[in-house]
């Protein structure tokens, strides 16, 4: 791991996003809460929060950071049969929380897949990416498509 002991602690924020594409049938089942495993979007939101907190255990070179906030938003898009996932993570520390936000989105997306795989095998997870980051020496970043 990179030594960050000489860096000053600053407020850090990162947001990541991703998309889960499903069939119209699967979209309807999720929205009507008819998936046998339970509340897909609620469980996916919880999985994203848990994953952000466990990121250093999953990604070998990530520093453990003292996360002060995690927000997972899942937005249904009926017209395109997809769910947009956004994760925002906050901390005050020596290193950023981009990996925590990205891991949260990935875990939420994988949870949707897991809970719906019995009704659809070809669910597509796509476009997992960093949307925004602030804090630290490198300053602010915003993706072009935000």
Residues annotated as catalytic are: 114
Q: Can you read off the two tokens belonging to residue 77?
A: 């898009």
Q: Are 70 and 52 in contact (CB under 8 A)?
A: yes
Are the beta carbons of 79 and 44 closer than 8 angstroms?
no
Dihedral, 116, 102, 75, 145 alpha carbons, nearest 10: -130
Q: Which residue in 76, 65, 94, 70 sits closest to 22, CA to CA?
A: 76
């Amino acid at each position: 791991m990179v030594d960050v002991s000489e860096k000053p602690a600053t407020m850090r924020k990162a947001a990541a996003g991703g998309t889960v594409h499903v069939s119209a049938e699967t979209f309807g089942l999720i929205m009507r809460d008819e998936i046998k495993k339970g509340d897909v979007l609620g469980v996916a939101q919880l999985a994203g929060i848990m994953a952000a907190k466990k990121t250093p255990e999953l990604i070998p070179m990530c520093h453990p950071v003292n996360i002060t906030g995690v927000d997972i938003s899942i937005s249904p898009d009926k017209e395109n049969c997809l769910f947009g996932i956004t994760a925002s993570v906050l901390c005050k520390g020596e290193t950023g929380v981009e990996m925590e936000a990205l891991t949260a989105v990935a875990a939420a997306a994988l949870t949707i897949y897991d809970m719906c795989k019995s009704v659809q095998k070809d669910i597509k997870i796509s476009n997992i990416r960093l949307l925004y980051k602030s804090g630290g020496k490198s300053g602010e970043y915003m993706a072009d498509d935000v």
